[in-house]
Structure 1
């Protein structure tokens, strides 16, 4: 899978596997650099990068300084084998981390973990929040469908966000109880609570035929 971080989110991956009865592996590509350049192994713990072709760095997107391994930042690539059009410290706009420890599969290629796009990042009370963080928090909960929509708003000159989810048609739990549970899960995952969690009935959120629009920015 590619295009979004869903293949690297265990609960999302499990749901897709259950639906299609097939193993799901995430991969990552960027046409400016090398097309498909990183992919999961059998361990499915990060995406191994083709380091014989690409040098990876993670930088602070504001200062452009490197950040320590394991810390979130913007993924930056330098091509090693392109001669006609080399790319040096190409800013991808993707936020993620790197892990340079050997993988249990035996490979020693660096692993990258993609969190989301820099454009989709919300800074809430000093905390960086991505749609994938919300998805990680709510996927797999039995009382909701897993569909969600985030709405970013400004309140008293501060960024806040609301989250809409759907109560599963098989659930008999009260919507207010579901809202509180979802709010707490999001806080546990991100460090901040949404302003409001709105619980809809199954099927009320729009479905997308292609890439889902998870973030509505009203700021």
Structure 2
């Protein structure tokens, strides 16, 4: 079964944030304003092709999707901007704390390594909770005490909540979900064929074409 194409986004067209020159901020500029919602995996200038990946860190399907994301990064390098967006699902009790911990890891300069490490322990996260989040922080050489404090004081909650609200507004219902060039691709149903679909869109965008 080929990956499900959910079609164009309701009431939204893909494009740069008009409030920020060149689009949304780089990974190094984590906060452009209170409530900033986009967290870059690449510090390179934003290109024509931008892929949003809506995911949560207690989701086994998102862990599977890492292989496709790595392959896309390997193939396109900085020509493809990959944006990680939070979409914690209610059925996973640790999804929201994990997203907040990932934001703190990002603030400490290890956002993407932290995401990969937590996803590799998705089932364990569900069983052991915040201990896993702090263990991963320690393993990566982060300030685990500060990660713990961030979970307690909720300093990153608004960022996670804003991502969740935006995802719902554009029709995201599960994870992983990919959004590129105004098209939403639902990887929660099936990931088969999704990478190839994304590659076709990216190739067209990089070539400057308008066709599908």
Instruction: Give the structure with the larger helix fraction.
Output: 2
Q: Which structure is higher in strand share?
A: 1
Rg larger for: 1
Under TM normalisation by the shorter chain, which class is it? Answer: under 0.3
